[in-house]
Amino acid sequence: MKVDGKPYRTVWMEGNTIRMINQPLIPHRFEIIDLPTHKDTAQAIKTMIVRGAGAIGAAAGYGMAQVVLEAPDGPGFMDYVLQGAETLRQTRPTAQDLFYAIERVLQAAQEAPSVAAARQAAVETAQKLADENAAAGEAIGHHGAALIPDGGRVLTHCNAGWLAFVDWGSALAPVYMAARQGKKVFVFVDETRPRCQGARLTAWELQGEGIEHAIIADNAAGYFMRRGEIDLVIVGADRIAANGDVANKIGTYEKAVCAAENGIPFYVAAPLSTIDHDCPNGDAIPIEEREEDEVLYAFGLDDSGNLSRVRLAHRDAHARNPAFDITPARYITGFITPKGVHPPHQLPLP
């Protein structure tokens, strides 16, 4: 995808350094941040400088490559690699793509016949994971575009566009593909409190693609559904259980229930790496709870053009802040994957 006419991926690696788009600054500033060590990368994942299932996975894969490149020669090599893998695992507990990428790169390093071969295998595997993620997003776009009619009105939640992947995205990929096919598409963009990834990121992406859209308060989706102004819902996923239950950004469950009540198709778009076939159902998915300040404060551009943080609640207030919720499979019309569109009871194997 392009920013001011220049093509970008969300995250990439140059030598030993990972480079990524600094997402908390969007839409007010576009900046690339450099991460020279795996500990820097782990911190960037944890603090959501990079976020979104696919982008987290790619960053974790590159982070594992950094671990292998940093590890000392000699008997301490594998101990360092295993410790680095655990550091990366501890960053975000819900995102399946993160664990998938770590294990892929770790396995490639462990199976290599020498330290030099392990370093090469780790870098090559991390790059392959990133390329697979970008290709998966494009394939999801092709399959999902067929679900969007000309003039279709799509509701999204959170950001599952190219910023959430290496490229293309999941939930927004069908929108981008439909628009490039010449279809007229309108997108209702849930603001997605508390971090407002819809208002900040999805709307910025859609503006760059020239796709008509409107940001709506999270509580307004049901209103527009009941009025018949939404034709379908497409969301992403952070983890999909074997039975088709889905963990996605907090508020997704509410949108699915409202869609079911109003007879509106509800689709989940995701690559195969997001499916956790070892997880039996949604109750087994760990749900990350983040710091309360994300709810108690808001961050943005003030009227003077300065980036600033303001407190929303009284000074003694406390908050609960689950980052994700579980949408049961019974509310999901289908999964849009690189292999096609599948009902919840027929999830494809990798």
Residue 57, phi then psi, degrees to nearest 5: -60, -45
**Going by DSSP bridges, is the β-strand pair 334-337/266-269 parallel, antiparallel, or unpaired?**
parallel
Cβ 54 vs Cβ 160: under 8 Å: no
Tokens of 326: 């579980």
Residue reference for tokens 């989706």: 221
Q: What is the separation, in whole angstroms, between the first and last Cα of the chain? A: 26
Tokens read off for 69 = 């490149």
Q: In the numeric block, which tokens belong to residue 285?
A: 């998915």
- Sort residue 94 into left (φ over 0), alpha (ψ -120 to 50) or beta: alpha
Q: How many residues does the chain have?
A: 350
Q: Which residues are catalytic?
A: 238
Report the half-sphere exposure of 175 (CA within 13 A, side-chain side).
36
Please report which helix (H) or strand (E) contains residue 276, including its range: strand 275-276
Task: Provide DSSP, 2-24.
Answer: EETTEE--SEEEETTEEEEE-GG
Measured distance CA(327)–CA(348) in Å, rounded: 19
Alpha-carbon dihedral sign for residues 321, 324, 329, 331 = positive
How far is the C-alpha of 209 from the C-alpha of 239, rounded, in Å? 28
Q: How far is CA 309 from CA 38, 113, 300, in A?
A: 29, 51, 7
